[in-house]
């Protein structure tokens, strides 16, 4: 792809460590001087974005925790895989209560991950391989150790007194109570009493993560300056954490409670009554911030910096709104409505993918199946095969191929998670004393936390799985599966899941239909097999079929209704060991089988 091949040009911004952020004008001038005009502003379209949890990818200094130099050492592997950009979860200085999502300094690097010089080297080395670096930008909240909050809580007259969400208590029968019934995503009331100010502060997440007051223009300016700082250091984009949570109801109204069968209250894993977050999530004011932020990064980055949103939304209409009426907000809000169906329901997948094709005004979908906050894609095996635990079942790799086909052969930008390509599975702790994630500590045993999807990358069958130094206790245990499931083993096995990922990503990038073609669902009455057509503007076409069941099925492609005359074809990819079909009139798919074929004799 011409645009992404030129992403190195985007990242030629000067790597000058600055104690203060650049102004918008300075950053834009720097970008303009170093970026030729032919660089595409849409490099992120059809791209493959690879999420790295830095603590768990590669440890370079033997302390059991992954770091920036470790990521740099693995860039050749990522280039071979076909990655266009890397999303790093937070690497800023942090008390690590929420493993980096509680930030105490936005303009530096936590020493456990390295230095700003290490970061600049990573950006430069990635640039040489046409890989962009995407930072995780946490706008909703800071750490309670951030200097902004320390000043804000010190007194009600401090210049930063209004930088966070503070409220007076509600007095009931002479007793102090929180202002309303809002609850934290991580359990308990979302309000914390602060003795110094004699007020409550709001925290949608942990107590140690106070929410910023986005109604304050000074907060907005400070955060936009953070974005400019990192653009100055060469980043290709930002993933915006919890972006829909920036605003709360100014009237502080109670959330409505969720009721179950018979009108009974529903209780979550933390023992709290479940509420509908209608007053604390996805409020209209979010769009104003997104427009301002988009303008700021466009000016600073020459229109070449992508904004990705963490957008767990209720409908395709809500997702469409995140792009902005004039495509002036997010370029890539995450479409969680496909990858998080969490069961192989053909009709639902067909409906959701078709919505992404037809109901977001032609904008680019961003599909994602797993990340650092959710169990890995082996959860689909759990649902499909009736297993009670995560792990490796008889069709594990075949299910992985189905998911990869949906992710990379659809019309979308694809977001994958480290280890997906080798089939790493969710490995939750079995004892409470082994849990590192505070969610698991609080919610055990109903909620075991997110440690299971954050285990170290499995590079080889050595005693440390190639992640850290031999004999070092890694921050999370390395799963026992590393003996057979690792990069080194799969690189030498042509039928491995790793090779499947490499091949289908290459097709996504280089095949005209899979790169630029529109998407049309086929055989929409089939309840077992999901089939679709990708048709390029020049008429080249590719058909894809994925068996969503554990039983064999035969597919008959009827293509004349979608403008394809003739049935000559070439197999591009198929599940290893599957027969090569004699015609498109009878394509045999084994359990969770996949077929991808290029169709010839196409008429437009």
Catalytic residues, which ones? 241, 299
Q: Is the bond leading into 41 cis (omega within 30 degrees of zero)?
A: no
- The pair of structure tokens assigned to 238 is 């930002």
Strand-pair category, 85-88 with 48-52: parallel
Where are the extended beta strands (E) located within 179-328? 191-194, 199-202, 237-241, 306-309
Residue 554, strand partner residues? 588
DSSP characters for 335-380?
EHHHHT--S--HHHHHHHHHHHHHSSTTPPPEEE---TTS--THHH
Cβ-Cβ contacts under 8 Å for 591 (sequence gap 6 or more): 395, 398, 547, 549, 550, 551, 552
Q: Say how many Å lie between the first and final Cα of the chain, rounded.
A: 24
Contact of 558 with 526, CB cutoff 8 Å:
no
Q: Work out the angle at residue 462's Cα, subtended by the Cα atoms of residues 501 and 380, and round it to the nearest 5 degrees.
A: 40
- The pair of structure tokens assigned to 280 is 């604390």
Closest Cα partner for 245 from 402, 140, 372?
Answer: 140
Closest Cα partner for 353 from 311, 396, 407, 308?
Answer: 407
- The pair of structure tokens assigned to 578 is 């599957």
Cβ-Cβ contacts under 8 Å for 30 (sequence gap 6 or more): 13, 14, 22, 232
Run of H or E residues at 485? none
Kindly state the greatest CA–CA separation across the chain: 81
Q: How far apart are alpha carbons 561 and 485 in whole angstroms?
A: 44
Q: How far apart are alpha carbons 65 and 56 in whole angstroms?
A: 7
Contact of 11 with 133, CB cutoff 8 Å:
yes
């Amino acid at each position: 792809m011409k645009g992404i091949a030129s992403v190195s040009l985007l990242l030629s911004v000067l790597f000058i460590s600055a104690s203060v952020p650049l102004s918008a004008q300075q950053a834009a001038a720097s970008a303009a001087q170093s970026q030729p005009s032919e660089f595409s502003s849409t490099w992120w379209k059809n791209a493959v974005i690879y999420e790295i949890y830095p603590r768990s990818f590669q440890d370079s200094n033997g302390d059991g925790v992954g770091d920036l130099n470790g990521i740099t050492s693995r860039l050749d592997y990522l280039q071979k895989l076909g990655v266009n950009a890397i999303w790093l979860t937070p690497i800023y200085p942090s008390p690590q209560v929420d493993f980096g999502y509680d930030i105490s300094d936005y303009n530096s690097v936590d020493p456990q991950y390295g230095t700003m010089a290490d970061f600049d080297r990573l950006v430069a080395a990635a640039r040489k391989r046409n890989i962009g670096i995407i930072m995780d930008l946490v706008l909703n909240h800071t750490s309670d150790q951030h200097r902004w909050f320390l000043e804000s809580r010190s007194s009600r007259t401090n210049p930063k007194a209004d930088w966070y969400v503070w409220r007076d208590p509600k007095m009931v029968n002479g007793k102090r109570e929180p202002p309303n019934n809002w609850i934290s995503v991580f359990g308990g009331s979302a309000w914390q009493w602060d003795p110094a100010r004699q007020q409550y502060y709001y925290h949608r997440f942990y107590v140690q993560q106070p929410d910023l007051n986005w109604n304050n223009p000074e907060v907005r300016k400070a955060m936009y300056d953070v974005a400019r700082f990192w653009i100055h250091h060469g980043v290709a984009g930002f993933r915006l954490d919890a972006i829909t949570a920036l605003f709360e109801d100014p009237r502080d109204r109670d959330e409505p409670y969720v009721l179950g069968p018979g009108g009974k209250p529903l209780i979550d894993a933390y023992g709290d009554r479940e509420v509908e977050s209608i007053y604390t999530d996805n409020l209209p004011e979010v769009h104003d911030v997104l427009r301002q932020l988009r303008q700021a990064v466009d000016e600073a980055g020459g229109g070449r910096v992508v904004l990705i949103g963490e957008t767990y939304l209720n409908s395709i209409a809500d997702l469409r709104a995140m792009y902005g009426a004039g495509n002036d907000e997010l370029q890539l809000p995450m479409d969680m409505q496909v990858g998080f169906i969490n069961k192989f329901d053909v009709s639902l997948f067909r409906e959701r993918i078709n919505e992404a094709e037809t109901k977001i005004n032609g904008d680019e979908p961003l599909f994602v199946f797993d990340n650092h906050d959710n169990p890995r894609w082996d959860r689909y095996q759990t649902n499909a095969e009736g297993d009670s635990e995560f792990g490796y079942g008889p069709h594990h790799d075949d299910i992985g191929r189905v998911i990869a086909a949906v992710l990379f052969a659809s019309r979308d930008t694809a977001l994958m998670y480290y280890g997906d390509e080798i089939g790493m599975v969710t490995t939750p702790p079995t004892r409470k004393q082994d849990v590192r994630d505070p969610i698991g500590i609080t919610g055990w045993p109903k909620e075991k936390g997110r440690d299971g999807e954050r285990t170290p990358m499995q590079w080889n069958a050595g005693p440390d799985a190639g992640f850290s130094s031999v004999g070092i206790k890694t921050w999370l245990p390395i799963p026992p599966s590393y003996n057979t499931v690792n990069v080194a083993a799969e690189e030498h096995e042509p039928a491995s899941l790793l090779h499947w990922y490499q091949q289908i990503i290459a097709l996504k990038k280089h095949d005209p239909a899979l790169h630029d073609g529109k998407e049309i669902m086929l055989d929409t009455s089939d309840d077992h097999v999901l089939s679709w057509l990708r048709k390029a503007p020049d008429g080249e076409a590719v058909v894809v079929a994925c068996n969503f069941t554990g039983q064999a099925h035969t597919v008959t492609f009827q293509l004349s209704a979608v403008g394809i005359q003739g049935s000559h074809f070439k197999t591009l990819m198929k599940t290893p060991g599957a027969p090569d079909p004699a015609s498109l009139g009878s394509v045999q798919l084994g359990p969770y089988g996949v077929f991808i074929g290029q169709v010839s004799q196409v008429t437009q």
